[in-house]
Amino acid sequence: MAPQLARLFHTAGLLSESEWSSFIKKNQKHKPILGVLMQQVSLETFRDLLNADITSFKTGSSPHEALHTGLTSSRMINDQELAQLLSLHRPPLAQLIAPLERDGVLDGDRAGAILAENGRRGSSDPGWLISDGILSAQAIGEWLSNPEGIPAREAAMWVAVVLAEANGLVPEDLLREAPGILEQSSKDLARKLSQFDGFRASSLMDLIEEGIRLPFEPPAEFQPDPMLFGLFPQSFLRRQMMVPLFREENRLGIATSDPLNLPLWALIRWATGLWPQPFLSQGQDIINLINSFYSKAEAPSREARSVTPPPAPIKQAKPQAQTGDGRKAEPAPAPAWTETRGEVAVADNVSAVQLVSSLIESALDTRATDIHLEPMADGMTVRFRIDGELRRILTIPQGLMQPVTSRIKVLAEMDVTERRRPQDGHFELRLEDRGIDFRISTLPAIHGEKVVIRILDSARVSMGLADLGMLPDQQKLFEQMLEMPFGMILVTGPTGSGKTSTLYTALSRLNVESHNLVTIEDPVEYQLVGVNQVQVDSNISMGFAQGLRSILRQDPDVIMVGEIRDGDTAHIAIRAAMTGHLVLSTLHTNTALGAIDALVHLGAMRFMVAASLIGILSQRLVRKLCGDCRKGQMLKADVAARLGLPEGTRKRIYQAHGCNNCLGSGYLGRTGVFETVAIHEAMRPMVADPHGMAALEQAAREAKMLSLSQAAALKVLDGQTTVDEVSRKILFEI
């Protein structure tokens, strides 16, 4: 420790060059490799030391300084972490550029051009310096490790004051005054330190030899403020083996296994504007603290936890911390959630890690299928899509907008520094006995990046035909279609009407040992055991048509095509259905019989459509009434007429009311409304006839086919949903 202390005081200007050289010469010893290995360092840090790039010694520098620079600058921080750190804290660009210019890292013209470019962009986020290649983590690391640079000298002087205060060599007030003095001149602070007996040049050598007590903070005696974990990337905390303890004015207390790591403190000061106050702690204790925090913050990745539904999705304990002088710091307040007109305002002190974790938990708890994070001028609006409807949940303050977005990008392994282009990513969670896939999409908007998280829960497709919502006769008809050895079954409807869930349920029914089931999808939304699923990839010209051709060479029994989008795909799918394969697919049409004209418009021959089709389903999703709070009323004459019921019909129907169980909406879950048409042999000539659509519709009605509006009316009369709900989703044509 003595050489590090001597280097610290030499960098701070408190030891002259001759005194430093004399100390090195006197204390130069070889340290056994076992002693190095027994130090408290993480495996990642040890790997970095082994791969450290120790360049040739610069002229005029001692071997000890070159070795120190080579080791400490090795992977101190990477580009992604540096960009994230700058984006989290957003220090003024002039504050970042000025010391680089003064130390000669950037010349004046280059510095001016950077400031001008930032003004042109109108950005307050300096992360673009990294994404555009203006600065790099390697260059910044080398600069901060240079003992002759401004940040290194200021960091050394600051840590010297921290050590002096911890050893009672200077008054406690100096620790509060030091940042202000340092920002003016490090020489002024050096002169102030030299006024005290312990820090006179003549006695510093003896003080180093005798030993200086490092500030020590046993982990058992403090509770790190969890809000402060959001100030740094997780990988950075692990690499540097540090834990933020408390924040007091412009000082940041940090537990560390290396309190004399000057390049690290210089980096934190340069990137955040905070003065790090280090406290020595055992490396393993720090690792345990980091693991403990992130295991709690990322608990959704391991087990499902019950959370309080909005409007209060986060519960935060009040941490206790100590300041550097042992005094109790004020506990960080719990997040202040206030409900206003169905939405929630969140306090600024919620960390991004915890907030994202809580949003995911709350979305799962409320059965949300999508999370929308929308940047606005005054903050980020969060909305959940619950039962098909977007509901405003909370507003994230501006200070947390970018950290929350960055946290989601890190989870999805996306480029944190790229904010000008849309990105897609995903991550998976395993909750008890089911897997959940989160699809992430980002889109640059005028106030920031809009993020949509699509939640794909495998439990939602683990259901039988009876769970889809078909009426008994419709279900029986669909089951008969699935028993056919070959032919084509189409499911139609708009986006979000549940077509994929219906096909997956059908595949689950057909998934037996004797069948070879193959799908081609874009994307593969749910993974089905026993089904060979193929992902469309336009980057390698692997579209539906190309994939379908290859699938036909794989001896399939059942083929599911995610969507028929073009004539080539339609032609191949029809051919497959005519040559002994059962083909399931989807189309975007409003009615079941409308699928026939849709195929013809894509270029399919009518006689081939007539020969291959065995059934068509059209469907919509409507919200189901909450059984705990629905309210009954007698059917009115105008409503009965609207539903196509005979005049004078007396029937009790229900209306939505709202309770805690349904989050005040009056609805809980969704059910399908179906129009099911089976193509019989007598109907095939009508399908092949360009003028036979009217006759085909009449034949379907004679076969007692229910239209969407008729099926919806039956669900209203059965008390499953309301007239208002089906009117929004289905055009009544009775």
Query: What band does 175 get if pLDDT is binned at 50, 70 and 90?
Result: confident
Least confident of 421-435, 472-486, 507-521: 421-435
Q: Does position 92 have pLDDT exceeding 80, yes or no?
A: yes
Structure tokens at 287: 């690792």
Do 708 and 591 touch, CB atoms closer than 8 A? yes
DSSP per position, 431-491: ETTEEEEEEEEEEEETTEEEEEEEEEEGGGS---GGGTT--HHHHHHHHHHHTSSSEEEEE
Distance, CA of 690 to CA of 421 (rounded, Å): 47
pLDDT at 316: 32
Q: Does position 706 have pLDDT exceeding 80, yes or no?
A: yes
Do 331 and 319 touch, CB atoms closer than 8 A? yes
Amino acid at site 660: N
- At residue 609, the 3 state secondary structure works out as helix
Q: How does pLDDT run across 670-691, given as a tens digit for each residue?
A: 999 999 999 989 899 999 988 8
Amino acid at site 71: L
pLDDT at 462: 61
Better-predicted residue by pLDDT, 309 or 297: 297
Better-predicted residue by pLDDT, 702 or 310: 702
Count of beta carbons in the 10 Å neighbourhood of residue 437: 18
Q: Cα separations (Å) of 485 from 509, 581, 612?
A: 14, 7, 12
Q: Are strands 652-655 and 631-634 parallel, antiparallel or unpaired?
A: antiparallel
Do 312 and 334 touch, CB atoms closer than 8 A? no
Least confident of 83-92, 108-117, 327-336: 327-336
pLDDT at 71: 40
pLDDT at 443: 95
pLDDT at 67: 41
Write the Ramachandran bin of 146: left for phi over 0, alpha for psi from -120 to 50, otherwise beta. Answer: beta
Q: So what's the architecture of 465-623+670-705 in CATH?
A: 3-Layer(aba) Sandwich (3.40)
Better-predicted residue by pLDDT, 290 or 601: 601
Closest CA to 117 of 101, 103, 132, 102: 132
DSSP per position, 556-604: -SEEEES---SHHHHHHHHHHHHTT-EEEEEE--SSSTHHHHHHHHTT-
Distance, CA of 598 to CA of 439 (rounded, Å): 30
pLDDT at 586: 93
Distance, CA of 46 to CA of 512 (rounded, Å): 52
pLDDT at 653: 86
Diameter of the chain measured on Cα atoms: 110
DSSP per position, 328-381: BPPPPPPP--EEETTEEE--TT--HHHHHHHHHHHHHHTTEEEEEEEEETTEEE
Strand partners, 438: 427, 455
Task: Break the chain into its structural domains and give their ranges.
Answer: 2-74+149-285, 79-145, 329-458, 465-623+670-705
Round the CA-based radius of gyration of the chain to a whole number and report it. 34
Query: What band does 5 get if pLDDT is binned at 50, 70 and 90?
Result: confident
Q: How does pLDDT run across 579-595, given as a tens digit for each residue?
A: 999 999 999 888 899 99
Do 292 and 266 touch, CB atoms closer than 8 A? no
Specify the residue for token string 């992977």: 75
Least confident of 33-37, 421-425, 504-508: 33-37
What are the two backbone dihedrals, phi and then psi, of residue 656, each rounded to the nearest 5 degrees? -75, 145
Distance, CA of 725 to CA of 666 (rounded, Å): 11
pLDDT at 575: 92
- At residue 389, the 3 state secondary structure works out as strand
Do 734 and 643 touch, CB atoms closer than 8 A? yes
Question: Environment class of residue 146 by beta-carbon count within 10 Å: exposed (0-12), middle (13-18) or buried (19+)?
Answer: buried
Distance, CA of 561 to CA of 582 (rounded, Å): 11
pLDDT at 91: 86
Count of beta carbons in the 10 Å neighbourhood of residue 569: 23
Checking 110-119 for CB contacts under 8 A at 24+ apart, the result is 118/93
Strand partners, 390: 385
Checking 686-690 for CB contacts under 8 A at 24+ apart, the result is 687/596, 687/606, 687/609, 687/610, 687/613, 688/606, 688/607, 688/609, 688/610, 689/606, 690/606
Q: In 185-282, which residue ranges form alpha helices assigned H by DSSP?
A: 186-194, 201-210, 234-240, 262-272
Q: So what's the architecture of 329-458 in CATH?
A: 2-Layer Sandwich (3.30)
Asked if the peptide bond before residue 311 counts as cis, ω within 30 degrees of 0, the response is: yes
Q: Which residues contact 123 (CB under 8 A, 6 or more apart)?
A: none
Least confident of 70-74, 200-204, 422-426, 501-505: 70-74
Please give the mean pLDDT across all residues of the chain. Answer: 78
pLDDT at 169: 78
Structure tokens at 679: 């193509």
Could you give the strand order of the β-sheet that contains 251-256, starting from the edge strand earlier in sequence?
A: 242-248, 251-256, 275-280
Distance, CA of 544 to CA of 522 (rounded, Å): 9
What are the two backbone dihedrals, phi and then psi, of residue 269, each rounded to the nearest 5 degrees? -65, -45
- At residue 17, the 3 state secondary structure works out as helix
Structure tokens at 504: 């997956």
pLDDT at 147: 81
Q: Which residues contact 689 (CB under 8 A, 6 or more apart)?
A: 606, 695
DSSP 512: -
- At residue 273, the 3 state secondary structure works out as coil
Closest CA to 618 of 677, 695, 570: 677
Amino acid at site 689: D
Distance, CA of 648 to CA of 280 (rounded, Å): 85
- At residue 245, the 3 state secondary structure works out as strand
Distance, CA of 676 to CA of 707 (rounded, Å): 8
What are the two backbone dihedrals, phi and then psi, of residue 731, each rounded to the nearest 5 degrees? -80, 115
Q: What percent of the chain has pLDDT over 70?
A: 78
pLDDT at 268: 92
Distance, CA of 276 to CA of 244 (rounded, Å): 9
pLDDT at 731: 60
pLDDT at 428: 84
Q: What percent of the chain has pLDDT over 90?
A: 22
Do 548 and 576 touch, CB atoms closer than 8 A? yes
pLDDT at 620: 93
Q: How does pLDDT run across 246-285, given as a tens digit for each residue?
A: 888 888 989 888 888 888 999 999 998 899 999 888 777 8
DSSP 537: B
Query: What band does 203 get if pLDDT is binned at 50, 70 and 90?
Result: low
Write the Ramachandran bin of 508: left for phi over 0, alpha for psi from -120 to 50, otherwise beta. Answer: alpha
pLDDT at 211: 67
Query: What band does 308 get if pLDDT is binned at 50, 70 and 90?
Result: very low
The pTM assigned to this predicted structure is 0.54
Distance, CA of 583 to CA of 103 (rounded, Å): 69
Closest CA to 280 of 217, 220, 222: 217
Better-predicted residue by pLDDT, 206 or 615: 615
The secondary structure element, H or E, covering residue 545 is helix 544-552
Distance, CA of 17 to CA of 217 (rounded, Å): 33
C-alpha count within 13 angstroms, C-beta hemisphere, residue 369: 15
- State whether CATH 1.10.1130.10 applies to domain 2-74+149-285: no
